[in-house]
Structures are given as structure tokens and as C-alpha cells.
Amino acid sequence: MEFSITLVNLAGSVALLLWGVHMVQTGIQRALGARLRGVLSIALRNRFQAFVAGIGITAILQSSTATGLMVTGFAAGGLVDLVPALAVMLGANVGTTLIVQVLSFNVAEVAPALVLVGVLMFRRSTAAPRDFGRVLIGLGLMLMALRQFVFLLDPYEDMPSLRLLLGAVATQPVLDVILGAGLTWAAHSSVAVVLLTMSFCAKGVVPPMAAFALVLGANLGSAINPVLEGGAGDDPAAKRLPIGNLLNRIIGVLVGMAVLGPLSTWLVTVDPDNSRVVADFHTGFNIALAIVFFPLLGPFAALLRRLLPARVDPADPSRPVYLDAAAVEVPTVALGAAAREALRMADALEVMLQGLRDAIQRPDRRQLSGLKRQDDVLDNLNMAIKAYISSLPAEAMNDADHRRVAEILSFATNMEHAGDVVDRGLIGLVGKQVKRGVPFTAEEAASLCGVIDRLIGNLRAAASLLVTGDDRAARVLVAEKEAFRTLEADATAAHFEALREGRPGASALHLDTLRDLKRVNGHVVAAAAYPVLEGKGDLLPSRVR
């Protein structure tokens, strides 16, 4: 009975350690995620800057997976070359060892102080202190969990059955590597697995050689998750970076296994502290891997391009391209992916407007039927973006993230509604004009084409606004609503003039088409300009005085 209770307590300590790691990661991501992403995008100019940035950002985030997701998004979108992206991953693998180095010292006594200060900061009303308070609480919980873990192992340290079991495991380094990789894959944290291994080794429950093999497995397991969960879409090129990171880890583990015996003997002689020697092995392994692979990144990247060529066949435009499921755990990355997908909706709407313009100039019923399929693209992308954003963990997002969610959803929804107006209104009106054989006059066609050109310009401005959030550009875009109201008023006056001249059919179609274009422009303005002005406090609740 007592042993069963101890097993439950051990499992609770492991869960507390994992939760502490999670709190540190989410706190840093909420506080600094967007800034770190910007720093990373600037650093990806050459492999040296990228390597240093990988170390620094991962040391702050405490997650090489989070860093890898950021870089994978850049690489998959063609925004960065594969060589500096691989250099970032080498740096990220080194950076994730730094917290292990810090916790390998006897710092458990400061755990209550960290939790106390963290709680006081978390109770503040402003976002930044709350996020950093979360980080301090997470660090305190990690230290408490490790101390509790060691305390629970004390009574069972000399149990013959446990010694026999662990002795059998210690003689099978391959089994240790598999076990370490499996635990890291399940926990999604190599830091937690290495810290647990340090605790086992510090108590003498696991000999150093077995601990080193477990550390090798943890390093291998940390590279498995990005391959299984990362890489949006079916394009093999999107998987080059995670697969390249996995390959260099596999090579490093194989070499490490080959020299594990003599290396273990030498390390124990140099540093008799079992806890410290595990941390040093973890750091040394990743530094050695970086030294070996850094000069070989050029040919290694060329090999990955040859093994994983970019897909050349055209993709279904209604299928999401950037909504990476693995990025859901990192909201700053996931929201960037959702924004890029929303911009594809603006491109699809522009294709519809361009096709409508061509149909007004050169009526063709087959071309109009092709435009209707673009509305299905908008519908599918809108549903995919909403489902993706709704899956983001709310507790991992700050106020700025929630505002960004509202902006992206507003943009996607209005793009979809604008597409409905084109599909159910404008295409039907132009199709009716073709069917009746009553074409627009040259003057009316030129007028409508000019309005559509102006609308396409507004659509492009709205897409830029989603990226920049500039309030000056938002005011210019809002002013276009007044311009379209003026165009409608002038067209209405022209319609009554046409009635006096006996040309009711063409003028009525022209007026109805212009009104629907005005509705599309209203959705375009609401998609991007209104959220920006509302965020600045410059949007009035009503135009009525």
C-alpha cells in the first residue's frame, strides 16, 4: 500500500515538473513571443547570426520546439534559406541545455521565494508583470518537483528489486535511448526528461552510463515531435528543416553510442558529481553536434533539397496552406499563420473581381461559372481559419493576442461575405445582362471597370492593413466609403436621366451592379480598417448625429 502511494506521489511530482516547464514556456511566449519572432526574422540573414539567435531565443523560451516552429514557418513560406534555418536549430539545441545547467546546481532553496514573488507579480493588473510572474511560479514549481522527487526516492534507493531492474536497464544502452526518446516524445519536453535523469543519477538509482544513454534518447525524442506534427500541407519542402534536425540528431546519437563506454569513464573521473556530469554531458553533446555540422550546413541543405524536392503540381486553392497544427501551442506563430491564410482570401476575392471586370468588357457565361468556384474557396478558407483559431489555448494568449484574433476573424468573415455578394449578386447581374443580350453601353462599362479597379485597390490596401495595422492608412480606406456613396448617388441621378431618354434596361443593370460593388467595398473597409480604428479608440459607435 505504501509503495502504491509513493508511485502516485512520484507521478504527481513528474506532473508538477511538466506543468512548471509549461508555465515557464507560456509565460515567456505571452510576454516576449512577438518580439522574439521579430528578432529571429532579422537574425536569419546568415548562419552565424542565426546560430546565436537560436541559442538566445531558446534559452529564453525554454523550448527548442517553439523556436523550431517559428523557423519552420519562415522556411516553409520561402522567406528564409534552409542553411540559416538549420543553423538556428543547432543553436536552439544548445540553448535548451542552459536551464538544465542552472538547475543542476543546488538552487532548490530559492523555490518558495520564486513562487512568492511570482504570485505577487501575477496578481498585478498589467499584462507584463503577470506574464513574468507566471515564469517565476513555473521555475519555483520545477525546483519543488525535483526536490520532492529526490525525497520520495530516498527510502527505495537500496531496494534489491529496484536495483535489479535498473541494473538490467543500465546494461542495455540501446533500450535506454529508446526509453528516453519515448518519454521525451510523450512529455514534449527534453528539459523535463533530462532533469528527471539527473535526479535518478544524483541518488545513484541510475548509473552515469545509463543516464548518458537516457540523455541521448531525450535529445533524439525532442526532434521527433516537429517531424510528426510540423510541416503544414503536403509539400515535402516544408519538412526539410524538421527532418534535417532529426537526421543530425540521429547521427549524433549513433556516434555517441559508439563512444559511450570510454566517454562515461572519463567524464565520471573529471566530474564526480553525478548530477552535474549529466548536465555537462547534455550540453557537451549539443555543442559537439553544432561544431561538427556547422561547416557542413551547405552540402547538408543541398542533400535535403534533393531528398525532399518542392511539390510542383498546383494545389487546391481551397485547401489551407499555412495552418500548421503543430504551431497551435505557440499562439504568436499560430496567429501569424492564420493571418497569412486570411491574406489568401483577399487574393481569391481579387481574382473574382478581376474576372468580373473581364466579363463586363467581354461577356462570357463560361467565365462567370468559373468565378463561382472562387466563392467556394473563400467559404472553405474561412471555415478552416475559424476552426484553427478556435483551437488555440486561451490561457497561452495575452490581450494583444486576443485582439489579433478578433482582427483576423473580422477580416476572414468580411472577405467571405464580400465573396457572397459577388457570387449571388454581381455575377447574377452580369449573367442576366449576357442572357438578355442587353450589353452595357461603352460609357457604362468603362464606369464599372473604373469602379472595380478602385475596389481592387481598396482590397489591396485592406490586405496591407491586416499586416501593418497603420491607423493613417485605415482612415484613408474608410474615406473610400464616402466616395462610393457619392458614386452611387451620381449613378442614381444618371438612371433617372436614362429613364427620360427611354433606356431603362441597361441603366437599371448598371445601377444595381454599382450598388453591389458598393456593398463589397463596405465589407472590404469593415474587414481591416474598422478593427484598426477601434483598437485606437477612433471609431464612433454611429454616424448619426
Over residues 18-27, the pLDDT tens digits come to 787 777 767 7
Residue 62 CA from chain centroid, whole number: 16
> Is 80 exceeded by the pLDDT of residue 317?
no
| Closest-CA residue to 403 (of 321, 308, 331) | 331
Contact in structure between 147 and 196 (CB atoms under 8 Å): no
The arithmetic mean of pLDDT across residues 445-451, rounded, is 83
What is the spatial distance between Cα 409 and Cα 527, in angstroms, rounded to a whole number?
A: 9
State the average pLDDT over residues 449-467.
89
Helical segments of 232-330, H only = 240-258, 260-270, 274-293, 297-307
Query: Which CATH number is associated with domain 325-535?
Result: 1.20.58.220
375-380: average pLDDT:
84
What count of other Cβ atoms lies within 10 Å of the Cβ of residue 525? 22
State yes or no: pLDDT of 313 exceeds 50.
no
Asked if the model's pLDDT at residue 414 lies above 90, the reply is: yes
pLDDT in tens, 155-204: 555 555 555 555 555 567 888 888 888 878 876 677 778 887 887 787 77
What average pLDDT does the chain have? 78
Report, as an integer, the average pLDDT of 62-77. Answer: 67
Query: Which span out of 173-177, 339-343, 478-482 was modeled with the highest average pLDDT?
Result: 339-343
Model confidence at 470: pLDDT above 70: yes
Domain ranges (residues) in the chain: 2-307, 325-535
**Is the pLDDT reported for residue 395 higher than 70?**
yes
Q: Flag whether pLDDT at 132 surpasses 90.
A: no
pLDDT above 90 for 426: no
Task: Return the number of other C-beta atoms located less than 10 Å from residue 337's C-beta.
Answer: 26
pLDDT per position as a tens digit, 500-520: 666 554 457 777 788 888 888
Q: In angstroms, how far is CA 334 from the centroid of its own chain? A: 3
Cβ count near 233 (within 10 Å): 17
pLDDT on residue 505: 47
